[in-house]
């Protein structure tokens, strides 16, 4: 998962800035995905993110646009190759 123009890296525990998430823990990916998009996510936004992750992990199209409760538009693109999935998130 890559967020906007940030370099690929790890979670910085002191600032909590996430540039990317690498791993296989779908629950953790969903949590960070939602947190990156909105600090106060609605249940609908959480369900949309779960749908995007489900689609990506099951080989379905997951390129979409989300709108946060604050009215911010966030685009999500998904690229998959064999067992690797990259979600690119940008506003």
pLDDT digits (tens, 9 = 90+) for 12-26: 555 445 555 667 778
Please give the C-alpha separations between residue 59 and each of 13, 14, 23, 67, 82, in angstroms, as whole numbers. 32, 35, 18, 24, 9
Return d(Cα 87, Cα 78) in angstroms, integer: 5
The stretch 5-17 carries a mean pLDDT of: 48
- Domain span including residue 70: 2-90
b/e for 27-65, b at 16 or more Cβ within 10 A?
Answer: eebbebbbebbbeebeeebbebbeebbebbeeeeebeee
Render pLDDT for 26-68 as a digit per residue (tens, 0 to 9).
888 888 888 878 878 888 889 998 999 898 888 888 888 988 8
DSSP H helices, 1-91, are 26-37, 43-57
The answer to whether the predicted template modeling score (pTM) of the entire model surpasses 0.85 is no
Token pair for 45: 């936004």
Domains: count for the chain? 1
């Amino acid at each position: 998962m890559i967020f906007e123009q940030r370099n690929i890296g790890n979670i910085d525990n002191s600032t909590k800035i996430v540039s990317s998430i690498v791993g296989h823990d779908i629950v953790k990916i969903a949590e960070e995905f939602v947190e990156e998009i909105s600090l106060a996510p609605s249940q609908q936004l959480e369900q949309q993110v779960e749908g995007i992750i489900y689609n990506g992990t099951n080989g379905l199209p997951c390129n979409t646009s989300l709108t946060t409760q604050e009215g911010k538009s966030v685009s999500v693109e998904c690229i998959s190759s064999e067992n690797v999935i990259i979600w690119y998130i940008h506003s």
